[in-house]
Chain A
C-alpha cells in the first residue's frame, strides 16, 4: 500500500507550484499525471482521505453528508453514488469506459421544445478527439469489442473473457432484436478470481481506476505531491489571474499558490467553488458574468431492468458484459443506451416493485401486503435469480433551471435543483417501451428505485463553448477571461449523451494537459 505521507508536501504554502489541481478524481488525476510527466511541479488538493481497500468498505457518499435535491415540489436528501478521496468516484465505479459517439458532439435538434434547453454542441472536432480516446483507452487497459454501429470505434481493446452461456444467449437475443450488441468497454484486467468490483474499491490492482493508473504513478514516479483532507473553499483572483487557492486543512486555513490552477472537484463542487470566489472583477463569482456557473446540470436517467432468458442456463462468468447503443437515436429522437450491471436481481427488489404496482392499480389499500409478496418472491427466488440485470442510460438535455447553487444551510454546502422535463420522462418511457417490445418474447421487468436520476453521473455545470456569453469555459477548458484557470471534470460537458462520462473526462484531461504544456514551454524554477 502507498505510504501517503511520503508524497504529502511539508510546507505547501511556501512553494509556487507550477500546477495546482483541485480534486484528485478522474479528470484531475489524469491531467496532473500528464503534466507531472512533462516535469511541471504538480500539487493535488483532495478533500477526502486515502481509502485503504482492506479496511472497512469505503464509504459511499459525499463528505459523508447528504445531498439536498429540490425535485420540483419536494426536497430529497440522499447519499449519491459519488466517491471521495484520492481517485474520486473511480474508486467505486464499475469501470465502464465508453466513448461518446460522433453524433453526440453535434448540436441536438430540440424540435421546438419549450422551454428550450441550452445549446449542446461540443466546440471541438470529434476527429481531433479520437487520438485522446485511444490514449485514455490504453492508459486504463480497456477491454471489450467494437460497437458494430460505430464506424469510428477503433479502440485498442484487450480481449474480454468469454460470456457465460446465459449471457451468450442474451447477447444473441439482443442481436436478433436488432439491438447490435457488443462487449461493454470496461477497464478491468479480469485477474483470476476477479469480482468486477462495482461500487467498491478493487483491492487487487485489477480494476483500472484513477488511483492505480495515473495518480500513483504521478506521485511515485513523477514527483507530484498530494495534500489530502484539504477542502478548497474559494480562489483568489486579481487582474484576470488566479493568485491562490484557499481552503481548510482541519482547523487551519491554507493559501496555496500556483502558476496554473485546474479545478476538477466534480460537476457538483466545482461550480460552488467558482460561485463562492468573489472578487472585485467577479462580484457574482469567478467565471459567472452571465449567470451560467452551476446551470445546465445533467444527470442521466438510469432505469434498471431484469431480463430473463427463455430457458435456464448457467450464468457463471463475467457479468458486466453486454452493451447496446442501437437506440441512441430512434426516429430522430435521442433515446439512449443499454448496458449490463453486475449483481443479480434480488427477490426483495422484485417484491417491492410488485407492491408498488399493485398499490397503484387498486383503489384501496391492502394491509400487510408486503408479507405475502415477500414470501412469494422468496419462494420464486431461484427463478428470479436466473435473470440478468441491465441498466438503461437516457440522455437528459441541459436546462437553464436545473442547477447547483451554493447553500450554507445544506449539509454539503450546496443544493441541487433538478426537475424532470416532460420530454425527458417521455423519452424515458419510450426507452422502456422499446426495450420491452424489442426483447420480446424474453421477459423484461423494470425495477424502479424511487428516483430514476443517476446521481453518480453529474455533468454540464461549467460547460465549454466558443462564445463567452453562452459558456463558462473556452474550447480549451479555460475559464473565459481568466488566463490561468482551467476546469477538467465533467462540468465542461455541453451534453450528457446518455453515456458513462469517465472515458470522456480522461481523454479530455489528456487534451487539456497538452494544451497547458504547450502554453507553458519554459516553466520557471519553483519559487
Chain B
C-alpha cells in the first residue's frame, strides 16, 4: 500500500509537467495540475488515467492565488502529500534586448513561484509529518548559454532555496517531510529540442517520492540518482557501506 495519495504538479499543461501527471495517474495517485492556460490543462486531462486528474488555473507568481488554489485542493481532495514545483519559463533572448519587466517576471515565476507553492503546502505536511516537495531544477547556472540570463539566474537560485528550506525542518521531529531538487537533464519539450523523452522523467522523480522516512533531504537528484560531484572515491565507498548496513 503506497504511502501517499494526493499530488500537485505545477506547470502541468505541457512538457515535463504533463508527463509527470500522466505517470502519477497511471500509478493511481490523485493529481491536481496547476497552470496558466486552461486549454493545455484540458489536454493533459485527456491523456491522464480516468478521473484521477483535475486542474486549477493559477499563476504561481501570484502568492495569494497559489495559497487559495492549494487550500481549495486540500479542502476538496484532502491534504497534499506530494508537491512538484515544475512551472518555469525559459525566455531565449540576449540580456540587453530584453525589457526589464520581462526579465523580472521570468525570475519571479521561476523562483518566487516555487517559494509560493512551498509556503502553501508545508504547514500541513509538517503537521502530519508526511510530505515530499520536489523542486524541478537545472544546471543551467553552471555553464549557461548566451540568451539565458534570467533562466540561469533563477535556476541557480533554486539550489540554495531547496537546501536552506530543508535545513529548517528538524529531521528528528519531521523525518518524513523531505525537500529535494530534481534535475531531469535536457528533455524534449518546448524548452529544448534535444534530450530524452518527457515520459522518461517520471520514473526518476518517483524514486524521490518513494524515499523512506528519514531519507535524503536537501539534495539534488540528477535523473535517476543523487548528484554528488564533490565526493571522492573514499567518501563514495563509505557511503555505500553505510547504506548497506542501513545507516542513512
In this complex, what residue of B is CB-closest to A205?
B97
Q: What does the 1/0 interface line of B117-148 toward A look like (CB < 8 Å)?
A: 00000000000000000000000000001110
Q: What is the minimal beta-carbon distance from B99 to any residue of chain A, in angstroms?
A: 14
Partner of B97, one of A1, A52, A204: A204
Q: Is B94 an interface residue (CB 8 A)?
A: yes
Question: Given that A54-B145, A54-B147, A203-B146 are contacting pairs, would A1 and B94 also be in contact in the complex, using a CB cutoff of 8 Å?
Answer: no
Specify which chain A residues have a CB less than 8 angstroms from the CB of B92 in the assembled complex. Answer: 1, 54, 203
Q: Which of A54, A191, A192, A193 is packed against the most chain B CB atoms within 10 Å?
A: A54
Partner of A203, one of B94, B193, B194: B94
User: Bound state CA distance, A52 and B92, in angstroms?
Assistant: 10
Specify which chain B residues have a CB less than 8 angstroms from the CB of A1 in the assembled complex. Answer: 92
User: Bound state CA distance, A191 and B93, in angstroms?
Assistant: 14
Specify which chain B residues have a CB less than 8 angstroms from the CB of A193 in the assembled complex. Answer: 94, 96
Are A191 and B96 neighbours in the complex by a CB distance under 8 Å? Answer: yes
Specify which chain A residues have a CB less than 8 angstroms from the CB of B94 in the assembled complex. Answer: 193, 203-204
Give the total of B residues in contact with A, Cβ under 8 Å: 9
User: Bound state CA distance, A202 and B134, in angstroms?
Assistant: 37
Q: Is A55 an interface residue (CB 8 A)?
A: yes
Please report which residues of chain A, range 164-194, place their CB below 8 angstroms from some CB of chain B when the two chains form the complex: 191-193
Question: Given that A52-B193, A54-B92 are contacting pairs, would A191 and B97 also be in contact in the complex, using a CB cutoff of 8 Å?
Answer: yes
Q: What does the 1/0 interface line of B181-198 toward A look like (CB < 8 Å)?
A: 000000000000110000
Q: What is the minimal beta-carbon distance from B74 to any residue of chain A, in angstroms?
A: 38
Specify which chain B residues have a CB less than 8 angstroms from the CB of A205 in the assembled complex. Answer: 97
Specify which chain B residues have a CB less than 8 angstroms from the CB of A52 in the assembled complex. Answer: 193
Specify which chain B residues have a CB less than 8 angstroms from the CB of A54 in the assembled complex. Answer: 92, 145, 147
Are A192 and B96 neighbours in the complex by a CB distance under 8 Å? Answer: yes
Specify which chain B residues have a CB less than 8 angstroms from the CB of A191 in the assembled complex. Answer: 96-97
Are A55 and B97 neighbours in the complex by a CB distance under 8 Å? Answer: no
Please report which residues of chain A, range 190-220, place their CB below 8 angstroms from some CB of chain B when the two chains form the complex: 191-193, 203-205
Please report which residues of chain B, range 58-102, place their CB below 8 angstroms from some CB of chain A when the two chains form the complex: 92, 94, 96-97
Q: Which of A56, A204, A205 is packed against the most chain B CB atoms within 10 Å?
A: A204
In this complex, what residue of A is CB-closest to B97?
A204
Chain A binding site: helix, strand, loop or mixed by DSSP? loop
Q: What is the minimal beta-carbon distance from B246 to any residue of chain A, in angstroms?
A: 46
User: Bound state CA distance, A54 and B147, in angstroms?
Assistant: 8
In this complex, what residue of A is CB-closest to B96?
A192
In this complex, what residue of B is CB-closest to A195?
B146
User: Bound state CA distance, A55 and B90, in angstroms?
Assistant: 13
Specify which chain A residues have a CB less than 8 angstroms from the CB of B145 in the assembled complex. Answer: 54
Q: What is the minimal beta-carbon distance from B125 to any residue of chain A, in angstroms?
A: 38
Please report which residues of chain A, range 36-67, place their CB below 8 angstroms from some CB of chain B when the two chains form the complex: 52, 54-56
Q: What is the minimal beta-carbon distance from A81 to any residue of chain B, in angstroms?
A: 23
In this complex, what residue of B is CB-closest to A192?
B96
Question: Given that A203-B146, A203-B147 are contacting pairs, would A55 and B193 also be in contact in the complex, using a CB cutoff of 8 Å?
Answer: yes
Q: What is the minimal beta-carbon distance from B49 to any residue of chain A, in angstroms?
A: 30
In this complex, what residue of A is CB-closest to B146?
A203
Specify which chain A residues have a CB less than 8 angstroms from the CB of B193 in the assembled complex. Answer: 52, 55
Specify which chain A residues have a CB less than 8 angstroms from the CB of B147 in the assembled complex. Answer: 54, 203
Q: What is the minimal beta-carbon distance from A273 to any residue of chain B, in angstroms?
A: 30
Q: What is the minimal beta-carbon distance from A309 to any residue of chain B, in angstroms?
A: 31
Specify which chain A residues have a CB less than 8 angstroms from the CB of B97 in the assembled complex. Answer: 191, 204-205
Q: What is the minimal beta-carbon distance from A144 to any residue of chain B, in angstroms?
A: 24
Q: What is the minimal beta-carbon distance from A52 to any residue of chain B, in angstroms?
A: 7
Please report which residues of chain B, range 189-228, place their CB below 8 angstroms from some CB of chain A when the two chains form the complex: 193-194
User: Bound state CA distance, A56 and B192, in angstroms?
Assistant: 11
Q: What is the minimal beta-carbon distance from A58 to any residue of chain B, in angstroms?
A: 13
User: Bound state CA distance, A204 and B94, in angstroms?
Assistant: 7
In this complex, what residue of B is CB-closest to A52?
B193
Q: Which of A1, A191, A203, A205 is packed against the most chain B CB atoms within 10 Å?
A: A203
Specify which chain B residues have a CB less than 8 angstroms from the CB of A192 in the assembled complex. Answer: 96
Specify which chain B residues have a CB less than 8 angstroms from the CB of A55 in the assembled complex. Answer: 193
In this complex, what residue of B is CB-closest to A193?
B96
User: Bound state CA distance, A203 and B146, in angstroms?
Assistant: 9
Q: What is the minimal beta-carbon distance from B160 to any residue of chain A, in angstroms?
A: 27
Specify which chain B residues have a CB less than 8 angstroms from the CB of A204 in the assembled complex. Answer: 94, 97
User: Bound state CA distance, A451 and B83, in angstroms?
Assistant: 61
User: Bound state CA distance, A56 and B194, in angstroms?
Assistant: 10
In this complex, what residue of A is CB-closest to B92?
A54
Q: What does the 1/0 interface line of B143-177 toward A look like (CB < 8 Å)?
A: 00111000000000000000000000000000000
Q: What is the minimal beta-carbon distance from A449 to any residue of chain B, in angstroms?
A: 28
Q: What is the minimal beta-carbon distance from B41 to any residue of chain A, in angstroms?
A: 20
User: Bound state CA distance, A192 and B96, in angstroms?
Assistant: 8
User: Bound state CA distance, A100 and B96, in angstroms?
Assistant: 36
User: Bound state CA distance, A192 and B95, in angstroms?
Assistant: 11
User: Bound state CA distance, A438 and B147, in angstroms?
Assistant: 44
User: Bound state CA distance, A205 and B194, in angstroms?
Assistant: 24
Q: What does the 1/0 interface line of A52-93 toward B look like (CB < 8 Å)?
A: 101110000000000000000000000000000000000000
User: Bound state CA distance, A204 and B147, in angstroms?
Assistant: 9
Q: What is the minimal beta-carbon distance from A376 to any residue of chain B, in angstroms?
A: 34
User: Bound state CA distance, A1 and B94, in angstroms?
Assistant: 13
User: Bound state CA distance, A54 and B146, in angstroms?
Assistant: 8
User: Bound state CA distance, A8 and B194, in angstroms?
Assistant: 24
Q: Which of B96, B97, B147, B194 is packed against the most chain A CB atoms within 10 Å?
A: B97
User: Bound state CA distance, A390 and B16, in angstroms?
Assistant: 49
User: Bound state CA distance, A262 and B97, in angstroms?
Assistant: 36
Q: What is the minimal beta-carbon distance from B9 to any residue of chain A, in angstroms?
A: 26
Q: What is the minimal beta-carbon distance from A331 to any residue of chain B, in angstroms?
A: 49
Q: What is the minimal beta-carbon distance from B100 to any residue of chain A, in angstroms?
A: 15
User: Bound state CA distance, A328 and B180, in angstroms?
Assistant: 68
User: Bound state CA distance, A192 and B94, in angstroms?
Assistant: 11
Q: What does the 1/0 interface line of B231-246 toward A look like (CB < 8 Å)?
A: 0000000000000000
Specify which chain A residues have a CB less than 8 angstroms from the CB of B194 in the assembled complex. Answer: 56
User: Bound state CA distance, A191 and B145, in angstroms?
Assistant: 19
User: Bound state CA distance, A52 and B191, in angstroms?
Assistant: 12
Q: What is the minimal beta-carbon distance from B97 to any residue of chain A, in angstroms?
A: 6
Q: Show the binding face of B for A, using Cβ within 8 Å.
A: 92, 94, 96-97, 145-147, 193-194
Taking A54-B145, A203-B146 as known contacts, 17 extra A-B pairs with beta carbons closer than 8 A to each other, sorted by chain A number, are A1-B92, A52-B193, A54-B92, A54-B147, A55-B193, A56-B194, A191-B96, A191-B97, A192-B96, A193-B94, A193-B96, A203-B92, A203-B94, A203-B147, A204-B94, A204-B97, A205-B97
The 10 closest A-B pairs by CB, nearest first: A54-B92, A204-B94, A54-B147, A204-B97, A192-B96, A55-B193, A203-B147, A193-B96, A203-B94, A191-B96
A–B complex contacts, Cβ < 8 Å, 9 sampled: A1-B92, A54-B145, A54-B147, A191-B97, A193-B94, A193-B96, A203-B92, A203-B94, A203-B146
